[in-house]
Structure 1
Amino acid sequence: MRFALLASAFLFASPALAQDDRFANVEIEVVEVAPNVAVLFGQGGNIALSHGDDGNVLIDDQFAPLVPKIVAAVEGISDGPVRFVINTHHHGDHTGGNEAMAEAGALVMAHDNVRKNILARLAENGDTSGTHGSLPVITFDSSVDLHWNGETIDIVHVHHAHTDGDALVFFTGSKVLHMGDTYFNGVTWPYIDTGNGGSIDGLVKAIASALARIDDSWTVIPGHGPVATHDDLHAYHDMLKTLRDGVAAAIAAGETLEQVQARDLTAGYDVEDGFISGDKFIEVLYNQLSD
């Protein structure tokens, strides 16, 4: 399964040897989805690669021990270094390679809150220098365009969705969209990081905003899980909206969490009980919508 357990995504304090052992058997699978865009599947968040005459751009970079394998996969597609890394949010399974990529010459870009959240994580581990190599060096508030490899790569912040710093990345010429972790495609129920500004309402709005910009000619890259279509993303939006509204109605009727879970609202959807189970997802919705 391509989906890496998110519980391991944030463990940066593990010894280096243990980290290397954990990733020793990971292979990077490359799938071309457009003439200049590929997806790299490994362990952690799905990576998108823009390649062409201007050089290589990565969307997310998984874990630090995987960087040599990621670089080798890139070199198998396109000569030259990685020029930019764009983080879709701050979680470690999407940003763990930042430092190594930066040391190799890449410029890391992300929303303002990604930098703030990585700074906070570093401070918890005793690093208050504010100069760590994992930090984005180019940040933006609402959106930024990168004109690269013959197209506009439109990077758009979506508010309080999976986290408070999510970005959707539109490859406008190639008609490819990287959703980051605003979209988990079938491999687990959604993880809404409420401790870092995530919310169900923001998540539904984020997906609706993406759907408003694409049609069925687009390819959709989720944060985890297989490559998807416009229709897949639309079904995901409708599922989230239905579950949110169902939990809200149950709360309004005075039902307890246990009563709502007993309704089995998640039954019938083609989603695995991965890192987040159906019951846990309903619990997150219940707690948030009860506030």
Structure 2
Amino acid sequence: MNQFPGFDANGDGVLNGAEIVRGPVSLVEPPNITFTDEIEITLGGKRVKLTWLGEMNHSKDSSMITFPDDDVLMVVDFVSFGRLPNREMDYENGMFEEWMTAIRETEETARNFQYVSTGHGPVGTWEDVRDWREYFDKLQAQVAAGIASGKTLEQMQREITMDEYSDWFGFDWIDENVLGMYHFLTD
């Protein structure tokens, strides 16, 4: 017997966060506007542009959302400020180049906006997007150099310190970031 009729979508007798926040399944409506590459809509009299950046990282629907009237660009999950990429960087999906392409496109677009908002962390600027990209560039270069010189993963995890990012949240994930980059480059 379902203890939570209308809420417990998977019928497991337990409400998870998404089921609680979403509310009863009967109230969920399918989208009435969809897009493939980009779309501009008006919300509350203001323009909103959505640009699909492709499948990458851990999502098939990563988009860049711009609010030109408010000088804001928003992206979620594939760009963060003042923090290292999460743990092993979802290396299992093998989509590093797609992720970097989206970061570069975001960096270029962000130059035209005063504010950049992400799903995790503070509001920033295009310079923060640049710093995020540079972290990846430096990590990739160091791991690639380690691989080319015949170092083991464990040696690289000991030697690649990225100390200049020690003030970023999640700095203790550096070994896991090295592991993720190693797999991106070798798998």
2:37 to 135, 138, 142: 142
Asked whether the 8 Å contact 2:72–2:116 carries over to 1, the reply is yes
1:235 to 125, 131, 146: 131
CA shift at 1:173, angstroms?
1.9
Tell me the equivalent position of 1:103: 27
1:193 to 72, 87, 90: 90
- Which structure has the larger Rg over C-alpha atoms? 2
Structure with greater proportional helix content = 2
Asked whether the 8 Å contact 1:216–1:229 carries over to 2, the reply is no
Tell me the equivalent position of 1:15: 14
CA shift at 1:203, angstroms?
2.1
What amino acid maps onto 1:161 in structure 2? M
Tell me the equivalent position of 2:179: 283
CA shift at 1:273, angstroms?
2.2
Tell me the equivalent position of 1:272: 169
Tell me the equivalent position of 2:3: none
Structure 1 residues without counterparts, runs of 5 or longer: 1-11, 21-62, 68-96, 109-136
Secondary structure of 2:69's counterpart equals: coil
- Verify: 1:256 aligned to 2:180, yes or no: no
Asked whether the 8 Å contact 1:183–1:222 carries over to 2, the reply is yes
CA shift at 1:13, angstroms?
6.4
- Verify: 1:162 aligned to 2:57, yes or no: yes
| Structural RMSD (CA) | 3.0
CA shift at 1:248, angstroms?
1.8
CA shift at 1:187, angstroms?
4.3
Q: Aligned equivalents of 1:251 and 1:271: distance in 2? A: 26
Asked whether the 8 Å contact 2:91–2:183 carries over to 1, the reply is no
What amino acid maps onto 1:157 in structure 2? W
TM-score, normalised to structure 2, is: 0.76
Q: Aligned equivalents of 1:281 and 1:264: distance in 2? A: 10
Asked whether the 8 Å contact 1:161–1:199 carries over to 2, the reply is yes
Structure 2 residues without counterparts, runs of 5 or longer: 1-10
